[in-house]
Amino acid sequence: MTKTYRIEVDCAACALKMENAARKTDGVAGANVNFMTQKMSVDFAEGCDHRHVMESVRRNCKRAESDCEVYLS
């Protein structure tokens, strides 16, 4: 399953940090962050709870780039 989330990030380099952090999160099969549209698309691994995984993605993105935001709703 793939879902798209609205994000807030200040630069393309920071967006890449977020993308890399999201990809390293358990339960994520793939992720793409688009700085221009301020959106993150996440491909979830089979059988995982996407809400729980996105909480982890949000935490990991904040660790990689403290000035970013991932909106889960």
Q: Where are the domains of the chain?
A: 2-71
pLDDT computed for residue 73 by the predictor: 79
pLDDT computed for residue 18 by the predictor: 97
pLDDT computed for residue 37 by the predictor: 98
- Which long-range contacts does 29-38 make (Cβ < 8 Å, 24+ apart)? 31/57, 33/7, 33/9, 35/9, 35/11, 38/6, 38/7, 38/8, 38/9
Render each residue's pLDDT in the chain as its tens digit; 73 residues: 999 999 999 999 999 999 999 999 999 999 999 999 999 999 999 999 999 999 999 999 999 999 999 999 7
Give the CATH fold of the 2-71 domain.
Alpha-Beta Plaits (3.30.70)
> Is this structure's pTM higher than 0.95?
no
